[in-house]
Amino acid sequence: MTNNYELYKVFYWAAKTGSLSQAAKALYLTQPSVSHAIKQLEDRLGLTLFYRTSKGVALTQEGAVLYSYIEQSQILITLAEEKMTALKNLDSGELRIGGSDSLFKHYLLPYLEQFHERYPGVKLHLNHGTTPEIITFLKEGRIDLGVIRMPIVDAQLQVRESFQLQDCFVAGSRYGELKGKVLSLAELLQYPIILFSRNSRARMGITELFQSYGHSIKPEIEVGSVDLLTEFAKRGLGISYVTRQFVSKELEEGSLFEIQLDVTLPPAHVGILTMKNMPLSTAARGFMELIR
C-alpha cells in the first residue's frame, strides 16, 4: 500500500506539472526515479498513462481518468494534514467535559473561560449529569474527561484528585433559633431535611455518614440542583445539605446560616476522570495542563 501511494504521488505531480523534472523537484527526487516510478505504475495497471510532448509529458485518455481520482485524494490528504496541524495547535477541535451544574458553575467556569480565551477556535461541549452518568459518558466516548466527587474506584478509569470541598447543613431565617446552637444528628433529624437526588455522590456520602452513627436520614424534599437546595433553604422549606463553597455568597450576606453539629463532617474531594490506556485529545491535554 505504501509503495502504491508513493507511485500515485509521483504520478500526481507529473500530471499536475506536465514535467518529469518539475515533479522530481517537487518531490525531492531525481528525474530517473520519477521515470521509473511512472513505468512501475503503468506496468501494474497495464495501461499507458503519459505520452511525451515537446514541452514535457501529457496524460493519455486513461491517465486523465486516473488523475481525476488521484487529484481528489491528494486534495483530501492536504486538507487532512492542514486539519491535523490546526488540531495540534488548538486552532480548531472540540473539548468535551462531563460534570454537574454546580461543579461547572463554581469550579470549572474560570478555567473554561481561560481556555476559551486562549483557544477560541476550540468548541466547548459540556455534558451535565450525576457521577454515574458521567462515568457512562466517559466509557461510551461521549466526553474526553469528567469532573466528579470522589471516591471513585474503577479499574478502567484514571482519577486525578483536584481540590477539596466542605459540605454543611444550612438554613434560612425561619430557623433562626438554631443559629449559634450545636445540634446532635438526632436533633437535626427533627427538622425537615432537603437533599440532592439519590444518585448524587453528595447524597450517598451523607447517607453513609448518618448510617455510621446509627441514624437513617430521610429527606422531606429531594431536588435536582444546588440552586434549588439553596433557594428552598432560604425560603424556609427545610434545612439543606449543600457544599459550603457553593453558598459562600448567601452565608456572607446572611440569607443563610450554617447549622453547627456535634460531629465533624468529612471533606469531599473532586477528581478529574479520564479513561486509562486511552490517549487524550490535544484539546483535553491542553485543558488538563491549565487546571494543574
125-172 pLDDT, tens digit each: 999 988 889 999 999 989 999 999 888 889 999 999 888 999 999 999
Tell me if 97 sits within 8 A of 147, measured CB to CB.
yes
Tens-digit pLDDT profile for residues 72-119: 998 888 878 877 877 787 888 899 999 988 899 888 999 999 999 999
Domain boundary residue among 88, 103, 121? 88
Helix (H) or strand (E) holding 230: helix 226-234
Quick check: 289 pLDDT over 60?
yes
What percentage of the chain carries pLDDT values higher than 70?
Answer: 99
Contact of 86 with 123, CB cutoff 8 Å? no
Same domain, 231 and 200: yes
Distance CA 189, CA 192 (A): 7
Indicate if 171 and 130 belong to the same structural domain. Answer: no
Q: Which long-range contacts (CB under 8 A, 24 or more apart) does 68-75 make?
A: 70/8, 70/11, 70/12, 70/15, 71/12, 71/16, 73/8, 74/9, 74/12
What residues pair up with 170 in beta bridges, in sequence order? Answer: 240, 258
Examine the fold and report which residue of 62, 88, 114 is the final residue of a domain before the chain moves on. Answer: 88
Number of domains in the chain: 3
122 plus 176 within the same structural domain = no
CA–CA distance, 242 with 166 (Å, rounded to integer): 9
Are 19 and 100 members of one domain? no
Which cell numbers in the block locate residue 53?
A: 510532448
* Same-domain check for residues 204 and 281: no
Find the distance separating the first CA and the last CA of the chain, reported in whole Å.
43
Q: Are strands 239-243 and 193-196 parallel, antiparallel or unpaired?
A: parallel
Q: What type of residue is 23?
A: A
Q: For residues 173 and 262, state if they share a domain.
A: yes
Among residues 88, 106, 125, which one ends one of the domains? 88
Q: Which domain holds residue 247?
A: 167-266
Predicted TM-score (pTM) of this structure: 0.68
Of 80, 65, 83, which Cα lies nearest the Cα of 15?
65
Cα–Cα distance measured from residue 148 to residue 108, given in angstroms and rounded to the nearest whole number: 11
Please provide residue 223's backbone torsions phi and psi, each rounded to the nearest 5 degrees. -130, 170
Q: What is the mean pLDDT of the chain?
A: 91
3 dihedral zone (left: phi>0; alpha: psi -120 to 50; beta):
alpha
98's enclosing H/E stretch is: strand 94-99
